Structures are given as structure tokens and as C-alpha cells.
């Protein structure tokens, strides 16, 4: 499943990796798309057209930590399925180089502020509830920037916060 799917590049990349894995003789790996989750209606339409074999296109990541989420295809609430692999790319607008206030959002994930911080919290809740075997978080390059992360003013990066959280959840984490 992909969260904050955008144009779901992750699905395309995973398909290519699986094909290469098979082509070099390392055996076969089967990954089937289970759902995409994207809040923007135009992107939802793109996902439905580009990935017709994806069973669900959920509209809102904040609903994924519940038993059911709204699926835009049948326009009804559906059970949020179990997934083995979760790929998430938290919204980047808060930290974008095009955002003139980006420097004030240095620790937005750690603080849970802005669109990026709140969308990361939705992904956290989903991962804690569903416990996928593998979590891939992309769109994190700018999170390596060091900023103030706590009340004591210690310096840290949001990337380190993400790694520490994944490790606390029992995942092997690296960037």
C-alpha cells in the first residue's frame, strides 16, 4: 500500500525492482498493489486510470488508522486491508525550497506541525495499527537538515527522529 501516493512512482519502481530481481536469477518476488491513498481528487483520478489493478484508492490518510476508510472507486467506506509493505512520502510543501517559510519548518515532523508533520503522524498511526513487515519512507532528503528538535533546544534532524521512531516500533531503520 502507498500513503500520500501522488503519482505512485513507488509502485512503478517496485515493479521494476521485482522484474530485475527475477531477470538476474534471484527468484521471484510477488508484490500486489493493495491500495493507494491520496487526498487530491485529480491525483485520485490519475491513480485509478494509471493503476486499474489497485483494488482501493483511499481519499484520506487520516482515515487509514481506523477500521474503514473511504474508497473513491465505489464511493463508500471499505475495510482498510492488511499490507506487507507500506510506502509513504509525507507531504513536502512545508520544507520545499519554493516555500519562503521553509526554514521555520526545520523540525516539523518531530514537532508534528504543518502539513508534513500532520501527514507523518497519520502514517505513524497507520503503521502502529497495521504493523507492515516493511516500511519505506521516501521524500526525506531535506529532513537531514539539522534543527532544534526538543524543549531543551538540542540539535537533531527530522530524519533521525524518523529513524528512532521506526527502531522503537521494531524496524531496522537506515537512510
Q: Tens digits of per-residue pLDDT, 124-135?
A: 999 999 999 999
Count CB atoms within 10 A of the CB of residue 104.
13
Pick the more confident residue, 91 or 41.
Answer: 41
Going by their DSSP bridges, the two strands 68-71 and 76-79 should be labelled as antiparallel
User: What pLDDT score was predicted for residue 21?
Assistant: 86
pLDDT of residue 166: 92
| Closest of 133, 134, 107, 137 to residue 122, by C-alpha | 137
Residue 33, Cβ density class (10 Å: 0-12 exposed, 13-18 middle, ≥19 buried): buried
CB 57 within 8 A of CB 44: yes
Highest mean pLDDT pick, 3-12, 53-62, 151-160: 53-62
* Cβ burial, residue 123 (10 Å; 0-12/13-18/19+): buried
CA–CA dist 82, 85 (Å, integer): 9
Higher pLDDT, 45 or 108: 45
Question: What's the whole-number mean pLDDT along residues 65-83?
Answer: 95
Which range has the top average pLDDT, 68-82, 98-112, 130-144, 153-167? 68-82
DSSP label at residue 102: G
**How confident is the model at residue 76, as a pLDDT?**
97
Say how many CA atoms lie within 13 Å of 39 toward its Cβ: 12
Query: For the chain, what's the residue count?
Result: 175
What does the pLDDT read at residue 154?
47
**Residue 147's Cα: distance from chain center in Å?**
22
CA–CA separation, 70 and 61 (whole Å)? 10
Amino acid at each position: 500500500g502507498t500513503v500520500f501516493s501522488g503519482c505512485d512512482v513507488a509502485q512503478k519502481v517496485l515493479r521494476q525492482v521485482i522484474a530485475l530481481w527475477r531477470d538476474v536469477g534471484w527468484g521471484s518476488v510477488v508484490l500486489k498493489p493493495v491500495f493507494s491513498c491520496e487526498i487530491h481528487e485529480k491525483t485520485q483520478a490519475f491513480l485509478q486510470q494509471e493503476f486499474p489493478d489497485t483494488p482501493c484508492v483511499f481519499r484520506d490518510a487520516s482515515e487509514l488508522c481506523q477500521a474503514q476508510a473511504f474508497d473513491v472507486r465505489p464511493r463508500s467506506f471499505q475495510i482498510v486491508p492488511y499490507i506487507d509493505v507500506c510506502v509513504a512520502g509525507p507531504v513536502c510543501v512545508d520544507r520545499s525550497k519554493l516555500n519562503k517559510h521553509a526554514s521555520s519548518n526545520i523540525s516539523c515532523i518531530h514537532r508534528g506541525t504543518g502539513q508534513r508533520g500532520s501527514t507523518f503522524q497519520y502514517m505513524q498511526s497507520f503503521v502502529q495499527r497495521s504493523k507492515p513487515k516493511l516500511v519505506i519512507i521516501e521524500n526525506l532528503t531535506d529532513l537531514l537538515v539539522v534543527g532544534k528538535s526538543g524543549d531543551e533546544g538540542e540539535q537533531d534532524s527530522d530524519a533521525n527522529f524518523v529513524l528512532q521512531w521506526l527502531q522503537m516500533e521494531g524496524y531496522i531503520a537506515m537512510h
